[in-house]
Amino acid sequence: MNLKTPRDLRQRRGGFTMIELVICLGIIAFALVAIIGVLPVGINVQKDNREETIIVQDGLYWMEAIRSGATGLDNLTNHVDYIRIDETSNRAGYRWETEAPGAGDSHLFLAGGAEIVGLLSMPVQADLVGPLTVKNWPQVDTQSGEYNYIRAKVRAITGSAVDQAEFARDMAFSYRLTSEVRPVRTVEDWAGYDGTVVGNVNTFRKLNFFEVKLTLEWPVFEFAGKERVGPNKRVFRSMVSGRLVNRQVNRLVVDRHTGQFPEHPNSPFFFFEPLKFSTPKYATQ
């Protein structure tokens, strides 16, 4: 009995040649290069979508906090690094931080959420003559030329829980929040260009209807020792009807009936009262 394998059968059972292996490896390498090239694009798209979602949620959160005149959001001190206000009258700048000032520090202290919301609700036309003093408010004439540039550096409120930890403070996703609050103006505010004189028929409207504009820019990072902001920007706008009252934020002096801080015409902390409408007697005509 012949048990030998025929020569042609042994040849048919042979393995791949070196040329065939090289061709296979080349095809696999080409596919891997294509996959690796697309992978960063997918990661960047995912990161951009995540940041956009955080910005939308945080923007709505800030808008509602300002519109309602919130005073109890003390957890905001965990997310706001600082608030800086630059005003045009004497080109002075005031910086507020959530860290208590030490020896040699010039910034002021943000003790809680009321101070944060109060500063972000300051009208751009308010005449800020010092870090703690506002004069000539409320203003009926909003063409005084005064302008307050109010901006804050914020760590994401609705982001990942890991970013909320203290050890991740420097690496967490941050954005710049710019707040602009203006009384609503109509065509009557520009009347008088033809020589006629218009009375204060719109006093009530000017003191009870406001526009709130919040601009969020991201990401915020440091480069060459300077803070810089990325190219991304989203704007939120809303109309608010009701009084805008400045109050003295002092936790030792609170009205026990209303739970509100006392009103003070020279305080830099402003709060909306959406359910109240009035024309204050001390309004600047």
Distance of CA 164 to the CA centre of its chain: 16
Per-residue pLDDT, 196: 46
From CA 270, how far away is CA 243, in angstroms rounded?
A: 10
Per-residue pLDDT, 4: 57
From CA 92, how far away is CA 171, in angstroms rounded?
A: 31
Model confidence, pTM: 0.80
- Which residues, other chains included, contact 80 with Cβ-Cβ below 8 Å and sequence gap of 6+? 98, 110, 116, 152, 153, 154, 155
Per-residue pLDDT, 142: 54
Per-residue pLDDT, 129: 84
Q: Are 176 and 152 in contact (CB under 8 A)?
A: yes
From CA 210, how far away is CA 54, in angstroms rounded?
A: 26
Taking only the tens of pLDDT, the chain with its 285 residues reads 555 555 555 555 566 788 888 888 888 888 888 777 777 777 788 888 999 999 999 999 999 999 999 998 999 999 999 999 998 766 678 999 999 898 888 899 999 999 999 999 999 988 888 889 988 777 666 556 678 999 999 999 987 777 776 666 777 899 999 999 988 876 555 554 444 444 444 666 677 889 999 999 999 988 888 889 999 999 999 999 988 988 999 877 887 767 788 888 899 999 999 888 876 555 544
Q: Looking up tokens 């009807």, which residue turns up? A: 241
Per-residue pLDDT, 195: 44
Give DSSP secondary structure letters for 243-279.
Answer: EEEEB---TTS--TTT-PPPB-TT-S-EEEETT----
